[in-house]
Structure 1
Amino acid sequence: MAAAAVEFRRVFAAFDRDADGKISAAELRLCMKAALGDDISDEEAEELVSSADTDGDGMLDEEEFTKMLQLEMEDEEERCRGLMEAFRMYEMKGEGRITPVSLKRMLSKLGSHQEIEECQAMICRFDLDGDGVISFEEFKIMMDA
């Protein structure tokens, strides 16, 4: 069995609090808050279940849950590809980081002329490790802000 399938089964079992082979909207909401810190409303949980519930019983079986997770993973991978393309526009060629100079250069291309000090200040807001540049991980966080 593929590692992903085993992991999906493990996650399904954790979300299926009453071990009935189905995940209700309430179970989904509770587990998302506990496992991910993601507090979704009852309505959002119902919508999420409804969007993946192919048999119309108002619950997610393991297959429906797995398909939902796979779609979420594909969406996240697509989002990361798009972010990487944007990141590459701003980074210093081949360095894998956005420097004040590379930010200034790209902003100039976009018609916004900033002083290097202003670019340093922009970077400082999202420079989590304090190295004076923006890594791809920091860029992702910045784009979510």
Structure 2
Amino acid sequence: MDKHQQYKRAFNHFDANGDGKISASELQRCVESIGRGGELSLADAEVAVVLIDSDGDGLLCFEDFVKLVEFGVGEEEKANDLKETFRLYEMEGSGCITPKSLKRMLSRLGEIRSIEECSLMIHHFDLDGDGELNFDEFKVMMSC
């Protein structure tokens, strides 16, 4: 079985309702079943889906799933993609993601969240406790 077939098999396994997409809750169960260092909260799964979702429907298609699985492949390309993604979410030139900038970007993606919800999402990965995500904290979040 080649890599593509393995990915498709895994995708179909985690696509619990068989709709051809993986939701945040299905992603959460996927990560928990793999056991890669613990649990993934639903809020964190929702953030991951928003960041990876290529068509903006709030779900991961097979191609998005492959991107997620292959996150460990092509380090330089990944680093560049991660920097580009970070720039989408940060406040213009501030070097950090604030609850306000996260809310703005999620709104652009069709996800309506309150500032409080965005603060809570950020809090999970805010290692220095300043209420914002710098790039290093963002990398930690994306590696979960």
**Superposition TM-score, scaled by structure 2 size:** 0.49
**Superposition TM-score, scaled by structure 1 size:** 0.48
Radius of gyration: which is bigger? 1
